[in-house]
Amino acid sequence: MPSVAISGVRTVETHWIPLSDGRKLAARLFLPEDAEKNPVPVILEYIPYRRRDGTRTGDEEMHLFFAGHGYASARVDIAGMGDSDGLLDDEYVRREQDDALEILDNLCSQPWCSGVAGMIGNSWGGFSGLQVAARRPPQLKAIVTSCSTDDRYACDAHYNGGLLINDNFGWGGALFGYSALPPDPAVVGEDRWREMWKSRLDDHKNHAAEWLKHQRRDAFWKQGSVCEDFSAIECAVLAVGGYLDGYTQTIFNLVENLEAPAKGLCGPWGHKEPNYGVPGPAVGYLQECLRWYDHWLKGIDNGVDSDPDMRLYLMDYARPHSHMDFRSGGGWACRNGRRSRSASGLSG
């Protein structure tokens, strides 16, 4: 697919990533214009939500930002979604992680890449970053994981301490819909798109029904739950989320238990990246990510490794309400081990 230049950044609409079993995954690339002369680290976002028509606006905001600050950035659809070959087996399956290892091999072997990679993602993408980090690919040096979980059974959309929750059905229905969508004929070709779509429909699964077969914390849920072995993660981890998200405890679990460098950031938000954070105040999330990557992917001594272990927004009491645009509070507090101190705030 053609390239487009945008103020010092070159975008490649479709970069095909060949896998060892013959499948190809579709990626969109955002590259500094001079990257082939001056190779840079790559930041990977690996999710199922259709890079062409699903997450395009948000992709451009985030990945153009990173490319404009000296990183290659890649947005890849997992197998069976968007324009990628193959079929969607389920959430967070072993094959999805295997594919990610091949994706990193492909991206890091490109002439515009320095051979060093990071990952970023919210929700599914945050899960993916943790799960791939636990596989220890040599290129992966740092991840930013937001609104994600270390425990797929006890802290996800299905069961909470063994109790079935409604998100099991709501999210199951949403995934049922996503996985039935066709690829784009303009990308995969007029001759292939119907065949690919029919294969997806013939294989279409009721994921919620499968999840109901596993009402206890068995091997089904332990696969992809990084809390099974925190020591497997060796790269640097920035864990981000909000008090109104369903995965708040994961931030604390990761910072407390990871042996690798880890920092946590928790604000008043729901299930969103903090630059879109509601209730406010939102923060300069991309700027925080850039500091993280500059240190761990480029070796820049910017003080990130000396940041507090946890940065927490201290909220004032508020009467219950159906929606709040903003939560007043006492600002940001920082905590290192058992010692705490106040902080002036965050980027942005």
What would the pLDDT profile of 69-99 be if each residue is shown by its tens digit?
Answer: 999 999 999 999 999 999 999 999 999 999 9
pLDDT for 343 equals 36
Question: Position of tokens 């864990």?
Answer: 239
Instruction: Tell me which residue range forms the domain holding 61.
Output: 3-151+228-343
* Count of residues making up the chain: 348
Instruction: Please state the domain count of the chain.
Output: 1
pLDDT for 162 equals 83
Give the chain's residues under pLDDT 50.
338-345, 347-348
In a domain, 67, yes or no: yes
In a domain, 318, yes or no: yes
pLDDT for 146 equals 98
pLDDT for 55 equals 96
pLDDT for 6 equals 65
- Conformation bin of residue 335: beta by default, left when phi > 0, alpha when psi is -120 to 50: beta
In a domain, 21, yes or no: yes
In a domain, 339, yes or no: yes
Distance CA 26, CA 50 (A): 10
In a domain, 173, yes or no: no
Distance CA 277, CA 266 (A): 11
In a domain, 220, yes or no: no
Residue 25, SS3 per DSSP: strand
Distance CA 306, CA 248 (A): 23
pLDDT for 341 equals 32
In a domain, 186, yes or no: no
What is the CATH classification number for the domain harbouring 41?
A: 3.40.50.1820
Residue of 307, 281, 277, 282 whose CA lies nearest to 292: 307
Mean pLDDT of the chain: 93
pLDDT for 4 equals 61
pLDDT for 242 equals 97
Beta-bridged to residue 172, according to DSSP, are none
Beta-bridged to residue 25, according to DSSP, are 17
